[in-house]
A = this chain, B = another copy of it.
Amino acid sequence: MLYLVGLGLGDAKDITVKGLEVVRQCRRVYLEAYTSVLTVGKEVLEEFYGKELILADRETVEQEADSILKEADVCDVAFLVVGDPFGATTHSDLVLRAVKLGIPYRVIHNASIMNAVGCCGLQLYNFGETVSIVFWTDAWKPESFFDKIKKNRQNGMHTLCLLDIKVKEQSLENLMKGRKIYEPPRYMSVNQAAEQLLTIIKNRRLQGEEPEITENTICVGLARVGAPDQKIASGTLHQMSTVELGGPLHSMIVTGSMHPLELEMLKLFSVDSCSNSENNAFKRTA
């Protein structure tokens, strides 16, 4: 049996009781390590589970799926995923390969950023399409996510923006020389995401467009959702470019139309809440 087990979002204890039992009974346990991170490392998980974990990076999963599935028809193999196995990244490839090999599989679900963002008080059923915001490079500055956010907002929907993660990336030089030397991991912050959005807004204005989303649009920055030190900050897009949220992972929401109850919840997390500023973002929208 192949078990796909969600680990949730915080630390070792966010696994479900059922998931923990499965991990402890499996012959081999893989930890998917390229689409998300917990606030604790592999060693902490190994100690808590009482099991050795095999790190599975993107290459392993894509190129060595057969070794992951080896003998899974006669023994139990677990594939652990931060969040839910079918959350922001699906592992359909591995499932389809297992099915083709006649290996049964089972999913042990858990919270993922896709549903845990509800903790800020915005209602999940009011979200439109989720977008990914990627790190811009000198040569590549895609804006397509902006148009998706715009469309959601025109429809009154909120947009969850998943922020880029660069793990085990090679520099162009190392890639071209075939050297397997990897850059340090990079995680996009809410500040960086907001800066990119502000740049797009500026570009659009230069093109004569008055964008649906402006520096005053209410957004929510979320960091380390589900962890004891999670941080949520609501305010304008402009405020998101400077808000301090600490370490990764970050996500951002661009709001659409808001229900009074949603607005009341967001006020709990207002970056303005300490000051009595007349410029308070929520006073302006309320």
Chain A contacts to B: CB under 8 angstroms: 6, 8-18, 20-21, 84-88, 90, 92-93, 95-96, 99, 107, 109-112, 114-116, 118-119, 121, 123-132, 151, 155, 157, 162, 225-226, 261-262, 264-265, 268
Contacts and interface: CB of A to CB of B under 8 A. Distances in A.
Contact of A128 (B21, B129, B131): B129
Contact of A123 (B17, B90, B128): B90
A264 to B, nearest CB: 6
B20 A14 contact: no
16 contacts: A8-B110, A10-B18, A16-B16, A16-B110, A84-B118, A85-B118, A86-B121, A107-B226, A110-B110, A112-B115, A114-B115, A114-B118, A115-B115, A125-B130, A127-B129, A129-B157
B115 A87 contact: yes
Contacts of A261: 92-93, 96
A17 B16 CA distance: 6
B109 A115 contact: yes
Contacts of A132: 125
Q: How many copies does the complex hold?
A: 2
Kindly name the residue among A6, A17, A84 whose own CB sees the greatest number of chain B CB atoms within 10 A: A17
B114 A109 contact: no
Nearest to A109: B111
Given A90-B118, A90-B121, A17 B13 contact: yes
Contacts of A125: 88, 114, 129-132, 162
Given A261-B92, A265-B96, A86 B16 contact: no
A128 B157 contact: yes
A155 B132 CA distance: 18
Contacts of A18: 10-11, 13-14
Nearest to A230: B107
A115 B111 contact: yes
Nearest to A256: B129
A132 B10 CA distance: 31
A129 B123 CA distance: 10
Nearest to A120: B86
Contacts of A107: 119, 226
Given A16-B17, A87-B115, A110-B111, 6 more contacts: A9-B109, A16-B16, A86-B121, A95-B121, A109-B119, A129-B157
Given A14-B18, A16-B17, A107-B119, A124 B92 contact: no
